[in-house]
Structure 1
Amino acid sequence: MTDRSEEEYVARRAPRHNDASPRQNGAGTRQKSGGNRARQNGASRTSRRPRHDNEGVIPVLARVTRELESAVQRGKVTSSTKAKFQAVALLVREERARIKGDAGTSEAKRAEELKRLDGIATILATTAVRESGLLALLADEAVVTDRAREMRRELLEQAGLEVPEEPEAPVEEPEPAELAAAARRVVPQSVISRQLANPFLPPDFSAVPKKKAKPRRLAGWELIEPLLRSFESGGGMACMDLPEPGVARFLGGRELMPHQASLIAAAAEGHRTFLLADEPGLGKTAQALLAAEAADAYPLLVVVPNVVKMNWAREAELWTPSHPVTVVHGDGDTIDGFADIIVVNYEVLDRHVGWLGQLGLRGIVVDEAHYIKNPRSQRSQNVLELSRRVRERRADPLLMALTGTPLINDIEDFTAIWQFLGWIDETRPLGDLMEALEDIGLTPADRGFASAAREAVIDQGIVRRRKVDVAADLPARRVADVPVELDGEAGRSVRAAEQRLARRLLARYDAALEARHPGGLPFGIDHDVVRQVAAAERSAKATKSDENVFTMMRHIGQAKAGLAADYAAQLARNAGKVVFFAKHIDVMDAAEETFAKRGLRYASIRGDQTATARQKQIDAFTNDPDVAVIVCSLTAAGVGVNLQVASNLVLAELSWTDAEQTQAIDRVHRIGQDQPVTAWRIIAAQTLDTRIAELIGSKAGLAARALDGAEPEETEAEDVQLEALVTLLEQALEERVGAAAS
């Protein structure tokens, strides 16, 4: 294929404009370097001479781009293909910059050549969509391989241009850990689609903050250690002054509490870094999401522990419904690359650091921020790297670290969090904090420096409120659902069990439907038959090999036992003593094993204990400050036990009735309790667990309304079991009808 036909092909693929683009000609021929193109004044740039349309590098790039497209379409992507792709991308950028900076070129000529380059860039972008490994080569920080440099030189020589010798760069061998992390990194396909909106657009550094003045009085002083020590000397609650909350807001029927509104008002007024250390139960998730909305900090990245990933997604849909949210699972194959809010858990963040760093983030929220307390850990390095990239590109990014851990304990653990927020680096304070310390007018050797420095750090954005401080804002008792995703073998086991139960219900439905409607129902689902089948299933005595609604719930309880225990451990670390309720012994065993691995001391109440042994366990939990958790059987400890030393409890398994759940909560919420009580229900997302939680909630609502003037409606366990089976069968029937229709 001639260079002329290649350029005509590129012209046809180029973006359409209102003005007619001239036909691109050219039969660029291979030329050797000539003496009249020798290097001038030792310049390192490639020497160029005036050329016609059929000369120079553009016709060569058009031909090679067509070859690359053809190779990718055939699935023949070799290391040589990647090197050639990177070389072409580099030359497109260089040629674009040269044309724009060439003062001797007319405007018409410049526009024509830039249009030709646009055609080449379009084909390169389309080619990268077919082979995601090529897209990484377009990144600014992509390492240019020796083979790509060599290929670049060859292409320039083919264009008849002299290429000066380049000095050899020293080779730095990457660390094994870096190689392993790089090998795991991925770029989801939907993210590629987003990046292709303009793959060659350079980063916008126009909003980067100006450098602050260099230290004056404090030059040469070691400051990080004195700042840390200043928090060990007390000084009251570590909380910045917050503005008065605005008018009460209602979003989706949810009321914003005054203490939450104060932080959001601070974000609306321009404050952009927060260490939000409110106690659990005070709505840190909602505050972070609404602060992002007030700051217009989108795209927003939210880094969280796996156990609360789904809960963040649900809260985002409730509080900021106009901003789409996506959750990253594994390699991110199912994410929405155009979402405003991206939720990712620490465990998979290393795979996604690359594309997240190029996404143009304007805000990052790190939940349970004590997870990054070790700056040398891999997950800390990932978070700090993303923060650095955002701060390099934005003058006012929103950076929020959320944790319930009191600041007075192990203050060294917060150095990495301060680094994430941009307050310090490894050796000194930065930016506004350094300016604030200079304005104090003291040095660490002067009396009064510690207390003033502490206030300077707090004013950067430390916010700490306790339940007792905002008790008037909170209900005396509330139930908060924490959806969790079941991964791995446990999740597959639950889904398989649900499918087996659904298949048996479908078989019974088909038999009953044939008896009622010989030849089958013309269309739709016979809901009367559905309820009959569900009622028969609930009443039937299943064999040991059968799945039924009881074994299903036990499967789910076993699968989420570790996640529930992990959440309880976080609460214990952040908020003090926690009561952990479960129905089955194996779930209690799994939880206790998790607490032991976390180094948490626990007590236990089980049905096989004597009264003396039980009281000994209760006394240990009540009186021993080192016993952080008490693991309770829902039936054995549901009544007659006083555990009001705690104000947080975790319901690892669902009850069949609201009454049983309420009895468990009342072990903590009783006369003498001086704090609002929060019961955290762990719900397995996308399983029967979710439907049962809804059913229990609806029954509780009916009972509450009945108290207004009628007899309370008793929640029957059989009703919940029946409705759960009806839901499972109806979903299976809808999926079958949908599959048949397609």
Structure 2
Amino acid sequence: MQLTPFPTQLSGAEWLSLRRHALLADEPRVGKTGTAILAADYNLDDTILVVTTASGRPVWKRAFPVWSPFGRQTQVVTTAAKLTAPVCIVGWPSVINPHIRAEILKRRWDRVILDEAHKAKNFDNKSTQSVYGALIDGGAELNTSSAIIGRAKGVWPLTGTPLPHDPSDAYPMMRALCPERLLADPARGWPDVTRYEDFRNRYCKWRPKKLNRWKTIIVIMGGKNEAELRDRLAGFMLLRTQQDVGIRPPVYETLPLAVSEKMLREVEGDVDRTTVLEAARNGSTRELDTHLGPLRRLTGEIKARAVVEAVKDEFDGGLDKIVLAYWHKDVGQILKDGLYQYGVVGIDGASTPDMRGQAEQEFLHGKPRVFLGQIEAAGEAIDLSSASVLWFVESVFSPKSMKQMSLRITNHTQTRQAFVRVCVLEGSIDEAVNESLLRLWTAIREVLA
């Protein structure tokens, strides 16, 4: 059965089809998959390579027959098999598998589609090097002789979070696919930012952090000159929000959970509050993980028990369904045990693609009223819009992951206003740290506005 595209998908497909390389940055649920397939049809692309996530592989295999009337033969590649179909779908880990990679590089691709393209956000990452190539002299040159883009006539990255952490995330994509946009423009006062350090210094606020006598790292604290970077991307990037296509964005709120001061003291123990809050203000996620590792799990468990009681109250007040997002396995188990009477399904890191699909369908169309989503596992390629309420029982330091998870409850069929709440322990370090996400989030919004 062929699906009927939305007008924004048709206009997006036309926009993509006119560009050899281009970034489709529509927000989740706007319809990037169908848009890209329609654009490939417009261009009469024959050989197509889709690089996607593990959960995205079955999504793309199902998508081609429903969006393209061409009857394209597709092949999902998970092992070192010969590539026989015109359309091949591989996971991001496969691009660094030497055997699968060798097969990919044997073919000349009309089109490479990089789904969830934020996976290639750093040239130190092997996946980024496999797709885009290797930097020479800090980015003055780019070696693409053994990169996938070197075998492609055109490349379309797709991601709803093109800057998952900070403005420097845009550099690999721009250096590989639109390097002319990094050159100096004296008339506009733009410097040359072809080298990575120049790009980072121009668009990021950062500071050095000394780990020991021999090693110092760069900690990016936020963005600057965001409007200039946005102008450099103009014409290369197409971004439509959910609101642009008629989907109402979620309303974001915090949900303070009150616990006793004694319990807070027992959990926070002798944690150096001043050091933690300074790390939060500086956006030093690695340092936060170091100081808050055990604390985050214990905090999550306390919040989970409080959330169980709060959710029961919500159901008593008429709420039909809810999505609860969490990070630690023990937190998920507390939620599952506490809310089992309402029917609980969910997805975690151990869920297979078949298990993911079954849990999604049961929640969408069945009796379960609670969906438990481990944040990284359930943040992509899943529709949870039978609920209009999502609570983050635990949060993470990645704005990208939080946003991806939030938008699972919104789509074109959602008739209710969606509400997303971040649960925090009132008066705790947990409450203060969550505020640290706002700085990076603001910088990202300024570039993508």
Q: TM-score, normalised by structure 1?
A: 0.31
Compare the two structures and name the one with the higher strand fraction: 2
Q: TM-score, normalised by structure 2?
A: 0.48
Which has the larger Rg? Answer: 1
Instruction: Identify which of structures 1 and 2 has the higher relative contact order when contacts are C-alpha pairs closer than 8 Å and 6+ apart.
Output: 2
